[in-house]
Structure 1
């Protein structure tokens, strides 16, 4: 069995935080979002098609939120 790294723990902690509530995702700072993006991108889910699809969907949401924070507004307003 593969060893659990500190990065794995950090990724899981951030993922648990955003899955606890829809509002938690918007509470993450820009730095936390960028770190989560980095950690999720590193993780290889190619062996599981459904997990890989979820990863890509999450990365899309993270990118949108980072854009909102850096532009200082939401996309539609």
Structure 2
């Protein structure tokens, strides 16, 4: 069984914040979003097709939110 690293714990904690509510995603800071992006990109889900698909989808949402924050507005409003 692989050892659980501090990065794994940090990634899981950030993912818990995001998944606890659909609005929690908007409460993350830019730094938290960038860190989550980095941690998710590092994790290899190639062995699990569904997990890999979820990873790609989550990275897309993170990118959109980072864009919204850096541009100072939402894309749709």
- Normalised TM-score (structure 2): 0.98
Q: What's the CA shift for 1:76? A: 1.9
Alignment deviations for residues 36-59 of structure 1 (CA, whole Å, 9 cap, x no partner): 000000000000000000000000
Alignment deviations for residues 14-53 of structure 1 (CA, whole Å, 9 cap, x no partner): 0011100011100000000000000000000000000000
Q: Does 1:15 align with 2:15?
A: yes
SS of the counterpart of 1:22? coil
Between the aligned partners of 1:76 and 1:36, the Cα distance in structure 2 is: 23
Moved over 2 A (4+): none
Between the aligned partners of 1:55 and 1:32, the Cα distance in structure 2 is: 17
Unpaired runs of at least 5, structure 2 = none
> What corresponds to 1:48 in structure 2?
48
SS of the counterpart of 2:76? coil
Between the aligned partners of 2:18 and 2:74, the Cα distance in structure 1 is: 19
Unpaired runs of at least 5, structure 1 = none
Matched residues, number: 77
- Normalised TM-score (structure 1): 0.98
